[in-house]
Amino acid sequence: MAEVSLKHVYKVYPNGTKAVSDFNMHIRDKEFIVFVGPSGCGKSTTLRMIAGLEDVSAGELKIGDLTVNDVEPKDRDIAMVFQNYALYPHMTVYENIAFGLRLKKLPKDEIHKRVVSAAEILGITEYLGKKPKEMSGGQRQRVALGRALVREPKVMLLDEPLSNLDAKLRTQMRAEISKLHQKLQTTFIYVTHDQVEAMTMGTRIVVMKNGFVQQIDTPKNLYNYPANKFVAGFIGTPQMNFFGGTLLKTGDEVTIDFGAAGAKITVPYAMLYKAQPKFLNGKTPVCIGIRAEDITLAPDGAAEGKTLIKVAVSHKEELGNETLVYGNINVGGDVYGENGSIIFKYSGGRDIQAGDVVKVSFNLDRLHLFDEETERSVLPRIPEYNYLECTVKEGKLTALGGEFDLPGAVKCPDGDYDLLVPTDAITFGKGVKAQTESCEDINGARLAALNIGGKRVYAVNDGCAEGAAVSVGFDFKKITLMSDGETVVSPMPDKNAIDCKFVKRKIVENEEVNGKTVRRKTVRFGFEIEGEFFGVSDAVSQKIFAALGIKNSLSSSLRLECGADGLTVCENGVAATAEETLDYGAEKFLKCRVGEREVFVATDKEYSGAVRVLPDFGKVGLVETTRDIKII
Amino acid sequence: MEKKKYKSKKAGETIALVLIYAVLIVISLVWLIPFFMLVILSFRGEAVGVSADYLFPKQWSFGNYVKLFTETKFPVWYGNTMLVSSVVTVLQTVIVLMTSYALSRLRFKMRKPLMNVMLILGMFPGFLSMTAVYFVLKEINLTQNLFGLILVFTASSAMQYYICKGFFDTIPKSLDEAARIDGASRHTIFVKIILPLAKPIIIYTILTAFIAPWGEYMFTSFIMLGDPDKFTVAVGMKSWLDNPTLAGDYFTVFCAAAVVVSIPITALFIWLQRYYVEGITGGSVKG
């Protein structure tokens, strides 16, 4: 029983291929995690890295409290079940299960007890004397499970364990593995390419593609709130229907135009509060997604409304309890064409024939919209920015019906601007009055939907409560002011970057021992920044060695990353030139230059000219620049 | 409608079988007759010199065998050969299996070039390096010495890795991985998982390792030149035929010796063939 945490884990092959990129996840104790994705997406590689069968190229992998990057598989307290069972063919089932325990040199009666109890759990007691070849696929996979669970591992790893079984057996084993998980109360990590397995078994699912994590969430959230088009298309059968189109906001309504197909529906703007304004201009191409089960067949005589769409039926599939109807919303065009093709479900009632033109309505709450370019959701669960309008006049900013004093650091000429406020830059406390309309817990963050004078504003704040009246203000260091598409005021970057190298230094010291001078040589590791050496603690150098290997770590070029509070002005720091002091009211920052880069330091005092700034090496992030890999 | 004529399928098959068997019989005759002759001639009682004018002896006798073991150095040579072959067999089998496992499972720099170089070097006939090896052995005082012979035969054994590695490659890697997670070291995996599954190839390796020094002539004759007590059977028996005056006397004894020489190989094969069990990996993994 243990937690597993992966921080910036990468797998890079010698030829430079990145099989897994920047994998970050914290797996809680007793979770059933499923990695799912098409073949070659890096899910098995990630599992094999956790098992210790593949080296971690960079990043930190922890099982329990132990960093296991460099720990042998047998010492990681894990067990693994392979897709092809990997039973030892020359041994009986009993010997197969007992093999690991015998290597551990456990007493014989203890081994016997464990093997028999595992066999009982899995219902293979009668086969203990048989060889694997005398058994069926399902029984063999049970033996493989038995071999894993007698080790009483902290983490069970399963690599597509059901792929080699036939459909009926697979459903049966699926239920058994779920039951086993409940019985053992152990952390399970399960790899599959089958989204049905993922949805039915996982407490949380990791969807991967091309080595990148697409989304990590519960099965229900993945289904209801896919973060991008890939997840939307991958989860659910039949696949989600996708149409190209545009959105146009007119007053309180938004018209969804299905483009070439000619179909249009109109929805209230309230549904699209979270969308960025640029998607609502009627030009930006978006991808409209709707699942087959969220489309209902409208009665034959239904009047043409704002939400009905015509579908020309091409063919149908009878599934017994329901019917899948295939067609195209482009009723005048090619009903078999890719563009505008649609699948919907309906059960009972009317007899639909190929060639019919029927009317369907979309369940608008279940409509998904994606950016055609980035494929990301247009309606993210936590929107990045609030898009507001403001006026700046004589050092005052007027927005949302309130007036705010602009801090000295925000400088702009008087005028009207577009104001971009990140959801985490809305501060609670003082400012304009707001009504909290709803609160949602989303993956650990709490999102409040606020009503400020009829305008919807989203804020990430742990202290929100539904129905509460609050006063809100802005965190001015995070806001952006734009005028005619040009950025006038940009936010302070939340990360400082400093170029450096990891180096080894031999330090020779003279020391007085018993009246004699002794020369003592010590080797220290540290960063070389702007030609100066800064020693680091062993913990930090260990992390770098683990991530890059001892040889490579001394030749790679690195980038230190830290927030403004990770830097202090101090005498033994890196040489820098102070440029200006930014005053954001409650906080002050010193903007200075280190080499080519601009950095921001949190400080109360004013400085000018040459200063020295020191990063807190225990807290900095570190990026290897040539391969762009985050190490710490 | 015209009725189409079909050839009888069965007749066609019979004709094919007859042809195939005819060819097989001819080949096996060509192959077996010399051995058959050897056995018959070894029982010839009368002394007629080097002559195979007639096959069946006028006088059946075990005299040649008795003479072989009492009047010649054959027992010494036989012992020498047995010693060299046995030691080489053990060493070579161990070396080949270990090399093959390493080349099949471990990934290291220069692995592929190493494999190619070994393969190409193995293709050159061994006698090309005969003179060089002779002088090396002479420098370290190992000529006319059975240990020298063992050294030479064992030294190049890793080059026989190819077939064995091919076999190891067919044993799924997930078995190694499962065993690693179970806590097995490389050595444990090799001994407890891979070797039990590799029985057929171990037998093959043992047989080839034994046969090569058993019948080797050229190298041994070179190294052992001038010391009949260190001869192996191949060199010793050839020395009978080299001498025109002796050849007549020893012709039938030679045949008897040949029969005796073939016994260990035959026995070894019969003993080991029961391990040639097919489908040994069945049930391990699903292919």
Q: How far apart are CA A497 and CA A560, in angstroms?
A: 5
pLDDT of B276 reads 61
Spatial contact of B240 and B255, defined as CB atoms under 8 Å apart = no
Nearest C-alpha of chain B: how many angstroms from A97? Answer: 10
Token pair belonging to A148: 């894993």
pLDDT of A530 reads 77
Average pLDDT over residues B185-194: 92
pLDDT of B16 reads 93
Of A475, A445, A476, A438, residue with least CA distance to A382: A445
Mutate: best of A133, A154, A160, partner B, most B CBs <10 A:
A133
Q: State what percent of residues in chain A have pLDDT above 90.
A: 16
Average pLDDT over residues A600-628: 77
Q: Facing residues of A470 across strands?
A: A434
Burial of A162 (0-12, 13-18, 19+ CB in 10 A): buried
Using an 8 Å CB-CB cutoff, list chain A residues near B175.
Answer: 86, 88
Residue A237 three-state SS: coil
> For the whole model, what pTM was predicted?
0.80
The domain A4-233 belongs to what CATH superfamily?
P-loop containing nucleotide triphosphate hydrolases (3.40.50.300)
Residue B283 has pLDDT above 60, yes or no: no
- Inter-chain touch B283–A88, beta carbons under 8 Å: no
Spatial contact of A249 and A283, defined as CB atoms under 8 Å apart = no
Q: According to the per-residue pLDDT averaged within each range, which of A116-120, A464-468, B23-27 is highest?
A: B23-27
Across all residues in chain A, what is the average pLDDT?
Answer: 83
The class (CATH top level) of A241-371 is: mainly beta
For A125-178, the pLDDT digits (tens) are 999 999 888 888 888 988 999 999 898 899 999 999 888 888 888 888 888 899
pLDDT category of residue B14 using cuts at 50, 70 and 90: very high
Nearest C-alpha of chain B: how many angstroms from A138? Answer: 11
More confident residue, B1 or B179: B179
- Measured in degrees and rounded to the nearest 5, phi and psi for residue A450 equal -110, 150
Chain B, nearest residue to A140 by Cα: B283
More confident residue, B153 or A262: B153
Query: Dihedral of the CA atoms A430, A433, A435, A436 (nearest 10)?
Result: -20
H-helix or E-strand spanning residue B108: none
Q: According to the per-residue pLDDT averaged within each range, which of A59-68, A571-580, A606-615, B90-99 is highest?
A: B90-99
Chain A, nearest residue to B193 by Cα: A88
Mutate: best of B182, B190, B281, partner A, most A CBs <10 A:
B182
Q: How far apart are CA A68 and CA A70, in angstroms?
A: 5
More confident residue, A99 or A300: A99
More confident residue, A312 or B284: A312
Collect all residues with Cβ–Cβ distance below 8 Å to A368 and sequence separation of at least 6: A226, A232, A240, A288, A289, A290, A377, A379
Query: 3-state DSSP helix/strand/coil percent for chain B, to nearest 5?
Result: 75, 0, 25
Average pLDDT over residues A310-324: 85
Q: State what percent of residues in chain B have pLDDT above 90.
A: 29
Query: Dihedral of the CA atoms A79, A81, A86, A88 (nearest 10)?
Result: 50
Chain pair A-B, CB pairs under 8 angstroms: 86
Spatial contact of A116 and A98, defined as CB atoms under 8 Å apart = no
Chain B, nearest residue to A131 by Cα: B283
The string of DSSP letters for A315-331 reads: EEEE-SS-EEEEEES-T
pLDDT of A108 reads 93
Average pLDDT over residues A195-222: 91
Of A604, A617, A520, residue with least CA distance to A562: A617
Token pair belonging to A428: 């609670």
Nearest C-alpha of chain B: how many angstroms from A115? Answer: 14
Using an 8 Å CB-CB cutoff, list chain A residues near B284.
Answer: 85-89, 132-133
User: Is B177 near chain A, with CB under 8 Å?
Assistant: yes
pLDDT category of residue A388 using cuts at 50, 70 and 90: confident
Burial of B30 (0-12, 13-18, 19+ CB in 10 A): exposed
Residue A598 has pLDDT above 90, yes or no: no
Residue A481 CA to its chain's centroid (Å): 29
pLDDT category of residue A493 using cuts at 50, 70 and 90: confident
pLDDT category of residue A214 using cuts at 50, 70 and 90: very high
Q: Which of A340-354, B84-98, B181-195 has the lowest mean pLDDT?
A: A340-354
For B228-248, the pLDDT digits (tens) are 888 888 888 888 888 777 777
pLDDT of B2 reads 61
Region for A393 from its dihedrals, namely left if φ exceeds 0, alpha if ψ lies in -120 to 50, beta otherwise: beta
pLDDT of B112 reads 92
For A16-38, the pLDDT digits (tens) are 788 898 899 999 999 999 999 99
Neighbours of B160 (CB within 10 A): 22
pLDDT category of residue B286 using cuts at 50, 70 and 90: very low
pLDDT category of residue A470 using cuts at 50, 70 and 90: confident
Chain A, nearest residue to B194 by Cα: A88
For A220-256, give one letter per residue: b (16+ CB within 10 A) or e.
ebbbebbbbbbbbbbbbeeebbbbbbbbbbeeeebbb
Burial of A482 (0-12, 13-18, 19+ CB in 10 A): middle
- Inter-chain touch A86–B284, beta carbons under 8 Å: yes
Average pLDDT over residues A530-554: 75
User: Is A114 near chain B, with CB under 8 Å?
Assistant: no
User: Is A102 near chain B, with CB under 8 Å?
Assistant: no
Chain A, nearest residue to B198 by Cα: A90
Nearest C-alpha of chain A: how many angstroms from B167? Answer: 16
Q: State what percent of residues in chain A have pLDDT above 70.
A: 97
Q: How far apart are CA B159 and CA B117, in angstroms?
A: 9
Helix axes B74-105, B199-215, angle to 10 degrees: 140
- Inter-chain touch B181–A74, beta carbons under 8 Å: yes
Using an 8 Å CB-CB cutoff, list chain B residues near A136.
Answer: none
Q: How far apart are CA B160 and CA B177, in angstroms?
A: 26
Measured CA to CA in angstroms, residue B196 lies from A89, A101, A392, A609 at distances of 9, 20, 83, 76
User: Is A106 near chain B, with CB under 8 Å?
Assistant: no
Q: State what percent of residues in chain B have pLDDT above 70.
A: 93
pLDDT category of residue B279 using cuts at 50, 70 and 90: very low
More confident residue, A52 or A277: A52
Residue A241 three-state SS: strand
Residue B252 three-state SS: helix
Collect all residues with Cβ–Cβ distance below 8 Å to A475 and sequence separation of at least 6: A424, A425, A426, A427
- Inter-chain touch A99–B181, beta carbons under 8 Å: no
User: Is B151 near chain A, with CB under 8 Å?
Assistant: no
Domain boundaries, chain A: 4-233, 241-371, 385-489, 496-630
Token pair belonging to A593: 């230059």
Spatial contact of A475 and A425, defined as CB atoms under 8 Å apart = yes
Q: How far apart are CA B155 and CA B92, in angstroms?
A: 8
For A224-265, the pLDDT digits (tens) are 889 889 999 998 888 899 888 888 888 788 888 887 667 788
pLDDT category of residue A1 using cuts at 50, 70 and 90: low
pLDDT of B280 reads 46
pLDDT category of residue A94 using cuts at 50, 70 and 90: very high
Among A80, A85, A131, the residue with its CB nearest the CB of B285 is: A85
Average pLDDT over residues A99-116: 92
User: Is B179 near chain A, with CB under 8 Å?
Assistant: yes
Across all residues in chain B, what is the average pLDDT?
Answer: 85
Using an 8 Å CB-CB cutoff, list chain B residues near A137.
Answer: 286
pLDDT of B277 reads 52
More confident residue, A499 or A52: A52
pLDDT of A397 reads 77
Q: How far apart are CA A74 and CA A52, in angstroms?
A: 9
Token pair belonging to A631: 């190490």
